[in-house]
Structure 1
Amino acid sequence: MAQLAMDCEPTNRNRLTFKGYYSIHYSKLMEITAMDITLTLNSPQDIVRGIASRAKQRRLEANLTQLGLAARAQVSLGTLKQFERTGKSSIEFLIAIAFALGAEQEFESLFPPRPRKSIEDVISKPLRVRGRRK
């Protein structure tokens, strides 16, 4: 028999924290494990707006105007204004802004390779070139 008891509390607009215990009853063995689980419930739009907000904050910390940043990044002023307001941009635009703000290193960790779990994984599973799922 397994039981799960949790309290749910919102810690901010997009994050829920569950605190509770999980008990497993075997014939003569009982195990109780304390759990802290945090779920982040961000939508793609929330992430996009967050990136735009952080880029704007970096621009202001560098004491740059929108026109000055647009000139440094060699992008149009209108596109920069739209990006700061809505978060919508192309990846090329975003990288140009990141370079102009000195934040290009953050892109290096965007899609890191997943670590292999064991030596058997390295030997038996070659790296995939194409996916199968649609």
Structure 2
Amino acid sequence: MSKYNALKTPAEVMQELVGKIQELRKKDKISQLELSKRSGVSFGSIKRFETTGQISLESLLKLAYFFNRLEDFTPVFQIDADLGSVEKLFSSKTR
């Protein structure tokens, strides 16, 4: 994490994703080659991902689907509900 910022950097998030995929793969006792064959992601892409963190979005989503974790992506870039209408309910002007 950045020394002066509580937010994670893209590189930190990337490394966390690599670690999580490796953990899931090893927990299921699946080799990189077997994961490639079963997920439809090329062996080179899996190897590169676990080495450098680089992977296409499509391949990452295929891996998430394989591990039954695709729903984990649902909240990504989710638009927050408009709280303005809720705030109006509690404003002093409407009382």
Global fold match (TM > 0.5)? yes
Of the two structures, which has the highest relative contact order with CA contacts closer than 8 Å and spacing of 6 or more? 2
Q: Distance in 1 between matches of 2:46 and 2:9?
A: 22
| 2:25 counterpart of 1:66 | no
Task: Pick from 72, 77, 84 the counterpart of residue 111 of structure 1.
Answer: 77
Structure 2 unaligned segments of length 5 or more: list them.
Answer: 88-95
Change (3 A) 1:116 1:87: same
After TM superposition, the score normalised by the length of structure 1 is 0.58
- 1:113 and 1:41 map into 2 onto residues whose CA distance is 19
Matched-pair identity in %: 24
* More strand, by proportion: 1
CA distance in 2 between partners of 1:61 and 1:109 (Å): 25
Aligned length in residues: 86
Residues 51-94 of structure 1: per-residue CA shift (max 9 Å, x gap): 11111111111111111111111111111011011110110010
Root mean square deviation, CA, Å: 2.0
Aligned residue for 1:50?
16
Q: 1:100 aligns with which of 66, 72, 76?
A: 66
**Cα distance in 1 for residues equivalent to 2:85 and 2:12:** 39
Residue by residue over 1:18-50, the C-alpha shift from the partner in whole angstroms, topping out at 9 and shown as x without a partner, is: xxxxxxxxxxxxxxxxxxxxx524211111111
Q: Is contact 2:2–2:9 with CA below 8 Å preserved after alignment?
A: no
Q: What amino acid sits opposite 1:50 in the alignment?
A: E
Structure exhibiting the larger radius of gyration computed from Cα positions: 1
Unaligned runs of 5+ in 1: 1-13, 17-38, 122-134
